[in-house]
Amino acid sequence: MAPAVLIENLQKRYGTVVAVKDVSFEVEPGEIFGLLGPNGAGKTTTLRALCTLTTPDAGKIEVSGISVLDNPKLARQRLGYVAQEVAIDKVLTGRELLQLQAALYHIPGALAKQRIDTVLDLLGLQEYANKKTGTYSGGLRKRLDLAAGLLHAPDVLVLDEPTVGLDIESRFVVWDFLRQLRVSGTTVLITSHYLEEIDALADRVAIIDRGVVIASGTPSQLKDQVGGDRITLRIQEFSPIEEAEKAKNLLQALPFVQEVIINSAQGNSLNLVVTPQNDALITIQQALNAASLPIFGIAQSRPSLDDVYLAATGRTLLDAELAAVANRDPKAEKKQNMR
């Protein structure tokens, strides 16, 4: 059986900006596959290329064995796409918008009515169906956008940041809906920079950074590869690099410490990978006290997907998000969105 989605060596550049440098991954039929990474990592560009909304400079893209580049019209019939920005006409009712969507996909009348009722039920929208969408809350608008993307019963539903800006209750509604789709056999490809979202939903995940896939596998596999518990340590709230380096050299000599990374973006805090043991925090505190190094804060936890990202790049996803915001060029973004 062909993969539901196959992407090999995808590349895309906008002028001098490299949006996607070299992205490759496969999505198996009937799974939820997550693309995780900060804003500007290349997630949206990858999805837009998959959904025929932009032409890549190089690479191979297939949906259920169909070449997206050679047969875009046929590929679009197999895809449902829900963009990050909700696209609905506020003067239409929810039902009218779905009827318009059905007409655009040439779905016959009786079948269209059946599918509209089905997606309205799935997403809890029946009581709002005859109200104008301009009166909908943000959560309801997102649910209606999901309904529109699913109406033509695609093999693969592609979602770009589907819960960004939603309240907790609306996010959980979307999560439950996506789990129902997986049970029904629909393949879901989702991008997010919410760690807990991908961890909770995805069967497998690929982490993208600066246009390249830096890690892939199940969430459990990726966290197991990092190994050990995580300890985050601050000597001071904002430590001098010399002091952080001194602490790093001291801690690396402890037998249960596997790795120490200095996180300069967070006040030169220290991120440790340690072999799990009950007295790890106490031993670290004793070693630092003996060297006259204070402790501003210390915490221990199991590995997370953010630890996977940190181990691969030397920075957390939050650091990457903040860096992307600081380096953002509004003119370049506007030009990219217009293409």
Helix (H, G, I), strand (E, B) or coil at 42: coil
Q: Which residues partner with 159 through β-bridges?
A: 82, 190
Query: Are 163 and 251 members of one domain?
Result: no
- Alpha-carbon span 27 to 274, nearest angstrom: 33
Range 171-176 contact pairs with CB under 8 angstroms and sequence separation of 24 or more: 171/197, 173/123, 173/124, 173/139, 173/143, 174/142, 174/143, 174/146, 175/200, 175/201
Answer yes or no: are the C-beta atoms of 276 and 231 closer than 8 Å: no
- Alpha-carbon span 141 to 144, nearest angstrom: 5
Query: Are 205 and 235 members of one domain?
Result: no
- Alpha-carbon span 249 to 245, nearest angstrom: 6
Q: What is the largest CA-CA distance in the chain?
A: 78
Query: Are 256 and 167 members of one domain?
Result: no
Helix (H, G, I), strand (E, B) or coil at 46: helix
Query: Are 206 and 238 members of one domain?
Result: no
| Identity of the amino acid at 318 | L
Query: Are 249 and 214 members of one domain?
Result: no
What CATH number does the domain containing 166 carry?
A: 3.40.50.300
Do the domain assignments include residue 83?
yes
Answer yes or no: are the C-beta atoms of 261 and 316 closer than 8 Å: no
Do the domain assignments include residue 318?
no
Within 13 Å and on the Cβ side, how many CA atoms surround 64? 17
Q: For residue 256, what is the DSSP state?
A: T
Query: Are 257 and 182 members of one domain?
Result: no
Per-residue pLDDT of the chain (339 residues; tens, 9 = 90+): 799 999 999 999 999 999 999 999 999 999 999 999 888 889 999 999 999 999 999 999 999 999 999 999 999 999 999 988 887 888 999 999 999 999 999 999 999 999 999 999 988 899 999 999 999 998 899 899 999 999 999 999 999 988 888 888 888 888 998 999 999 999 999 998 788 899 999 999 999 999 999 999 999 898 888 778 889 999 998 889 999 999 999 999 999 999 999 998 888 999 998 988 888 999 999 999 999 998 999 998 888 888 888 878 877 777 777 776 776 554 545 455 544
Do the domain assignments include residue 261?
yes
Which positions ≥6 away from 55 have C-beta within 8 Å?
A: 49, 69
| Enclosing domain of residue 238 | 228-302
| Identity of the amino acid at 260 | V
Query: How many distinct structural domains can be found in the chain?
Result: 2
Query: Are 121 and 212 members of one domain?
Result: yes
The DSSP string of 321-334 is HHHHHHT--HHHHH
What CATH number does the domain containing 292 carry?
A: 3.30.70.100
| Identity of the amino acid at 239 | S
Cα-based distances in Å from 165 to 43, 141, 162, 289: 18, 12, 9, 44
Query: Are 195 and 242 members of one domain?
Result: no
Query: Are 177 and 260 members of one domain?
Result: no
Query: Are 40 and 156 members of one domain?
Result: yes
Query: Are 188 and 251 members of one domain?
Result: no
Which residue among 218, 251, 286 closes a domain?
218
Query: Are 251 and 137 members of one domain?
Result: no
